[in-house]
């Protein structure tokens, strides 16, 4: 994150905020799903727009992907991508308590994606005295797509056409694992450069209080 001029204290504070949000989100999800939810330590990295699409596509092999935008106060915003392995799709109905024919697999994926995204980001926002609103989740493609190249292109086009400055993005990757259902998916948060600068200002205020 050197290009964004994050100090070591700012990076440590951001990592701690994400860790706290992960812990609380894991507990909330476990209560909601009545099962244990395990979250791995997140990876946090700065990604140039030149490699952003390639990075996302390399992680999106043979998966369903749902995108959902998030917007907070003080210019804090970004895009959340939920990525699922095809082998997990048949477990969604049991996980959410649906009857087998109540919703399509695509509808179940969208439903679960919204839960995962909003649960984490609401807790994250509370750590920085903020509040998030969300766009409707959108299924970019599913694993049974007949044209995989077109599916990957849809992710790149979706990212590139956001109203954000994607010269540099902060990429946060979190893996959810639901042990009782052998289910897992990755949540990738993409935060544009302008929003990262705003987050740094919020972090500075937090550091000043300690």
Per the DSSP assignment, residues forming a β-bridge with 44 are 172
Average pLDDT over residues 6-14: 87
Mean pLDDT, range 184-199, rounded to an integer: 85
C-alpha closest to that of 108 among 64, 53, 61: 64
- Which residues lie across from 187 on neighbouring strands? 82, 174
Residue with tokens 């694992």: 177
Q: Tell me how far apart the alpha carbons of residues 84 and 90 are, in angstroms, rounded to a whole number.
A: 11
pLDDT, tens digit (0-9, with 9 covering 90-100), for 171-190:
888 888 877 766 778 888 98
* Second-level CATH architecture of 2-208: 3-Layer(aba) Sandwich (3.40)
| Sole residue written with tokens 């909601």 | 32
pLDDT at site 210 = 73
Supply the mean pLDDT for the chain: 77
171: nearest Cα among 20, 56, 54, 23: 56
SS3 helix, strand, coil % of the chain, rounded to 5?
Answer: 50, 25, 25
Q: Which two tokens stand for residue 145?
A: 């797509």
3-state secondary structure of 65: strand
What pLDDT is recorded for position 80?
92
Q: What is the pLDDT of residue 136?
A: 92
pLDDT above 90 (res 153): no
**Chain segment 44-101, per-residue pLDDT in tens:** 888 876 666 666 666 655 567 888 999 998 889 999 988 876 565 566 667 777 776 7
Q: What is the mean pLDDT of residues 191-202?
A: 86
* Cβ 186 vs Cβ 66: under 8 Å: no
Amino acid 145: pLDDT:
47
Q: Which residues pair with 131 in a beta bridge?
A: none
Give the highest mean pLDDT range of 151-155, 161-165, 177-181: 177-181
More confident residue, 151 or 196: 196
């Amino acid at each position: 994150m050197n290009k964004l001029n994050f100090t070591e204290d700012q990076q440590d504070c951001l990592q701690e905020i994400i860790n706290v949000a992960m812990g609380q989100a894991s507990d909330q999800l476990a209560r909601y799903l009545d099962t244990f939810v395990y979250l791995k330590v997140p990876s946090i990295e700065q990604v140039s727009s030149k490699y952003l699409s390639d990075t996302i596509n390399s992680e999106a092999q043979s998966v369903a992907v749902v995108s959902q935008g998030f917007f907070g106060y003080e210019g804090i915003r970004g895009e959340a991508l939920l990525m699922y392995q095809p082998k997990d799709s048949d477990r969604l109905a049991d996980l959410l308590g649906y009857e087998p024919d109540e919703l399509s697999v695509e509808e179940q994926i969208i439903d679960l994606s919204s839960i995962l995204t909003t649960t984490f980001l609401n807790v994250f926002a509370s750590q920085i005295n903020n509040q998030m609103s969300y766009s409707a989740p959108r299924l970019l493609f599913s694993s049974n797509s007949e044209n995989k190249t077109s599916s990957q292109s849809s992710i790149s086009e979706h990212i590139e056409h956001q109203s954000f400055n994607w010269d540099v993005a902060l990429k946060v990757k979190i893996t959810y694992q639901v042990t009782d259902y052998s289910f897992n998916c990755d949540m990738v948060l993409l935060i544009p450069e302008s929003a990262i600068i705003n987050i740094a200002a919020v972090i500075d205020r937090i550091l000043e209080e300690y």
